[in-house]
Amino acid sequence: MKAAIIVNPTSGRIDYLDRLTWMEDELVRHGFQVTVRTTSAPLEAIELARRASGEGSELVISVGGDGTLNEVINGISLSRSRLGIIPVGLSNVLARELGIPADPEAALRIITAGHTRRIDLGSANGRLFSIMISIGLDAEAVRIVSSSLKKYLKRYAYHLAGLKALISFRPPPFTVIVDGERELLGRAAVISNARFYGGPHRITPDARVDDGYLHCCLFEKGSRRDYARYFWGVLRKKHHTFSDVTLIKTRQVRIDTPGLPIQADGDYIGYTPIRIQLLPKQLTVLVPSPETNKTRSSSSNK
């Protein structure tokens, strides 16, 4: 069997590059013929993953953060390749959702164990996402965040960009059209395929990556005070009780208002208008076995 490792050398909360040889050796020991491909520019992982699957790689492994993972997913989504995840980024939201540990060696053991799960994906103007799409203040923060500051400040670079966006960004109200029928008015929206957002936070707590739905959280107001209130509500897991926050399940979302920034899985991808739809059971991912997840869950509850 063929396997390809797609590595983003600039992504990472830890020094993992010295473990690449070990990863390659471990995969070879499990019967894989391995190639390692390293990215050097944004969006390059899409083409590297597409090429790897086109050359017959039955397993394509993303070594990086959520942005690298999103690109790899976009590269292999139309193929029969399975996805392996070595989460070494800042947030690793999909890995958290699937129960994949942050330790690269433990994550690789999950890949070689071979247990798989079919998950849903979303499509936003043709760009696939596994975690979420958002429109509004946080998307503006992702748009303006400095790549050089990300290198040194890690996740705090996003906090700084968020404060800058809070001062200068005033999004207009926009209409969210749900499943072609229901119309909702808001100033910010998160359309999720998963529970987690930006790490441990849960904006759409009922979402699951294989439940056949997108989960939309719409924030109706847009003043600085309102954003601070929403942020505090998310931290306290109380935002869903606010009268000006709407949570709804859907399979299609449309926003026709032009000029609003969009981010997908933590990367800026452009401006509205946007059309979002669910693609059920689109991707096969290597995940922990149910027994492993039960053991980990019971241990964490002790």
Q: pLDDT tens for residues 241-273?
A: 999 999 999 999 999 999 999 999 988 999 999
- What pLDDT is recorded for position 16? 62
The residue ranges of the chain whose pLDDT is under 70 are: 12-17, 146, 148-156, 292-302
Q: Domain extents for the chain?
A: 2-115+287-300, 127-281
> What backbone torsions phi and psi does residue 28 show, to the nearest 5 degrees?
-60, -40
186: left (phi over 0), alpha (psi -120 to 50) or beta: beta
Nearest to 227 by CA among 210, 240, 239: 239
- What pLDDT is recorded for position 151? 65
Fold match between 2-115+287-300 and 127-281?
Answer: no
List Cα–Cα distances, 200 to 154, 174, 210, 236, 243, in angstroms: 16, 28, 19, 12, 24
- What pLDDT is recorded for position 15? 61
- What pLDDT is recorded for position 146? 67
Q: Is the domain covering 2-115+287-300 a CATH 1.10.760.10 domain? A: no
Reported as a single tens digit per residue, the pLDDT across 168-220 is 888 889 999 999 888 999 999 999 999 998 778 899 999 999 999 999 999 99
Fold classification of 127-281 (topology level): Tumour Suppressor Smad4 (2.60.200)
The span from the CA of 89 to the CA of 76, in Å, is 20
- What pLDDT is recorded for position 301? 42
- What pLDDT is recorded for position 10? 78
Q: Which residue has the tokens 């990863």?
A: 23
Cβ count within 10 A of residue 239: 22
- What pLDDT is recorded for position 145? 80
